[in-house]
Structure formats: C-alpha cells, structure tokens
Amino acid sequence: MKPRFSFGKIFLLGFGFFGVSVIWSVYNAYVPIFLHNRFHIPPGIIGFFMTLDNLTALFIQPPVGAWSDRLRTPIGRRLPFILAGAPISALAFGLIPLQTFLPFFMACTITLILSMAFWRTPVVALMPDITPSRYRSQANGIINFMGGVGAIIAFLIGATLYEMNPNYPFWLGSALVILATLMVFAFIREPQEYEVTDQTQPSLWHGLRQVIAAEEKSALRILLAIFFWFVAYNAIEAFFTLYAVNHLGISEADGARLLGQLSLLFVLFALPAGFLGSRLGRRNTIISGIILLTSVMLVLFFTPVAVLNTSLFRLPVVGNVPVAGLSLMVAGIAWALININSLPMVVDMTDDLHIGTYTGLYYLFSTLAAIVGPNLNGWIIQLSGENYALIMIVAPIFMMMALLMMLGVRRGEAKAHRPQPVPAD
C-alpha cells in the first residue's frame, strides 16, 4: 500500500527532528565556549573537536541508513534505531556541562556522538517512507519547521537558562529528546510493505559507485553541492558564539540569541520554502537560496562592527534585533530555501527500496562537509591571530562552488503522481 500524505502525521514525525535540533543547537552554541573558557583549547583544536561528531557519524550514519532499509521488525525498520539511540543521547547530553576534567568531558561527548549517529539517519528516512513523492518538499518543510522550533527553544530559551546556570540548557535538551522520542513512538506507524525492484540488498557504497559511474550526473552534482554549502554553513555555525564574543564584542548568551533569530526566520519560512519548491521547482528554489545566503555572508564581513551592533527594534521573546540579527534573519530565509528542498531532491533520484541508502549518501556528503568546514575555519582563525571575522569571507567561496554544481542538476523534482486504481466492488 502506498503511503498517503497526512499533515498531522508529518507534524508528529517532526518531533523526532525537534529532538535532534535541540541537542545539536545547544551543543554547537556552548561546547566551543566550554572548550575555550574551561579547558583553554586553541581555535584550531576547537575546530577539530567540533568535528568529532561528524567524523564519527561519517562511519556510522550511512551504513545505518542502508541497514535500516534491510531491517524488518514488528514496529518497522526505522523505529528500533530511534528507541535504542535517543535515550542514551539524552543521558550523555545531560552530563556534558557537569564535567570539569577534560577526559570525562570527552567521554560524555563521544557517547553522545555515537548514540546520535545511530538514530539520525533512520529518523530522517521516516519522512519519505510515509510521504508520497510529490509531497516531500512540503513534508520536509514541516519537519524542518519542527526542527527550527527546537533550535529557537535551544537558542532563545536556552540563552536565558544559560545566564541562570550553564547546565540548564543541556538538561532542557535531554528532557525534550525523551519527550520527542515518546511522541514519535506513540503516534508514527511505519508502512509494512516496501517496494522491491530487484533482489539486490541496498548498499551505501554500491549506491555511491552507481552515482559516480552514472552517465547522467545530476545525483553526483547535487551531492557535491550539498558538500559545498554545508562546508560554508557548518564552518560558521561551529564558531558563531566565539565570533559573537570576540568580533562583535557581545556575551555568549547574546550570541546564541542571534542564532535564535536566524532559526526563527528559518522556522517561519520552512513551510513556504517547501511550497515554493513544489511550485517553482526545487532546483530554482535552492539556487535562489544560495545567492541570498552568499550575499548575507558578504554583508556581515564588510559591515563595520559598530553598525552590525546597532539596535534596530525589539521583539517579544526574541529581544533586541541589531543589524547583525536582521542579516541573520535573512540568512534563515535563505537557508530554508536551500535546506528544505535538498533532501527531497536526493531521495527522488532513486526508488523506494533505496531511500535509506540515498538518505545515507546525503548524510555522507553533509557529514564530510561538517568535518572540513570547522577544521578549515579553526586553522584560519588561529593562523590569523584569532581574527574571527574571516569566517564570513571563506564561506561565500564554497557557496559559489555549490551554485556551480546546482546549475548542472537536471533531475530530482517531484515525481509524477500515478493515481492508484480503484478496486472493483
């Protein structure tokens, strides 16, 4: 039986993305601060430390995606991974801020990294499992909306909690991950029938070889584009709170609030970005986002600090919005246009049997980027005498490389809807 599109079901699935987003938003905002202030780690090493999660995930997430394609259990092929990994993630995450001895700190972060890698790809692959092809951009918009809500909570509410006690944002994240897991388990039912096109079991590396060897290069081009734009985005994200403190001259909590302002506009545009991808084409929507995000990065680099810190207005919950905050809000819109439509393009380049495998390829390239980006920026910052402004000039180079790749993509739009025959009475 083919899956039917249900807004309610996708919103419920979004709780899984909500949990993932809360964890990584708090982690990326405050772990670099701990490393710098508590353990006195230099920027080059911080960059490497912030890629340990991606380095580990590189070897775990793609094979787990292919494994989940093959798995058959009474509760489905994705849920067992979520139920096993999420509680361990919540426990390890809650212990991170309590550690004052670096080896114990690393033990908690590595446990978090391993457990998160175990359930990340299966929860992502659930979306195309339960969503027909023509609705996947809209569905990806919904679940990224939920992920964005998680980021807003992590950055805005988490910033206030951090000012009260640095432990509190982590404990909030742990509680929300447990809640999100329970919601997914209680309300999501996986399909029990899967399309089988041949007798060959899905394999990530076999799929990668096919992508590279294919005469038509759209799949390879979009995977390379994903690599380039994630190099740019992750390079900035890993150092943003340190950029805020050392370049903008504001507090760690206010730096997190700026990220919250980006996340707010990402959330507001998550659903429109999916509908724009459906109406205007995913490729065209992504290209528009790349151009817009590149422009914002260049504005942040060339605008004087005094201007970036100039207050423009205040919003409830969000607080003061300076020029830098408004720029990041535009960046949130641009990132929604890119991010919402990229995974649907990848999974619509294959059949239903290999959705987990292609989801794994998506994470293979995005994870490689998340390893390269922070390491590259970490050493650039360190070798430049800790000039954190440079992160905003390196990233546009990679965004332009992503644009060149996207210009050659010819497939990945929503597949034509084939009405199912009505059974005779």
* pLDDT higher than threshold 80 for residue 421: no
Q: Which of 8, 177, 159, 153 is nearest to 91 (CA)?
A: 177
On whether residue 195 sits in a domain, the answer given is no
On whether residue 196 sits in a domain, the answer given is no
Range(s) of the domain holding residue 372? 7-187+204-406
- pLDDT, greater one: 286 or 141: 286
The pLDDT assigned to 202 comes to 54
On whether residue 1 sits in a domain, the answer given is no
* pLDDT higher than threshold 50 for residue 180: yes
Residue range 368-389, pLDDT digits in tens? 898 898 999 889 999 998 899 9
Residue range 390-412, pLDDT digits in tens? 989 989 999 999 999 999 988 87
CA 96 to chain centre: 21
Place 187 in a pLDDT band, splitting at 50, 70 and 90.
confident
On whether residue 95 sits in a domain, the answer given is yes
Place 3 in a pLDDT band, splitting at 50, 70 and 90.
low
Please state, rounded to an integer, the average pLDDT across all residues of the chain. 85
On whether residue 157 sits in a domain, the answer given is yes
The pLDDT assigned to 193 comes to 59
On whether residue 422 sits in a domain, the answer given is no
According to the per-residue pLDDT averaged within each range, which of 77-86, 121-130, 239-248 is highest?
Answer: 239-248
Place 50 in a pLDDT band, splitting at 50, 70 and 90.
confident
CATH number of the domain encompassing residue 112? 1.20.1250.20
Report the number of distinct structural domains present in the chain. Answer: 1
Residue range 348-367, pLDDT digits in tens? 887 776 777 787 788 789 88
On whether residue 418 sits in a domain, the answer given is no
- pLDDT, greater one: 33 or 193: 33
The pLDDT assigned to 64 comes to 80
Average of per-residue pLDDT across 270-299? 92
The pLDDT assigned to 219 comes to 87
On whether residue 98 sits in a domain, the answer given is yes
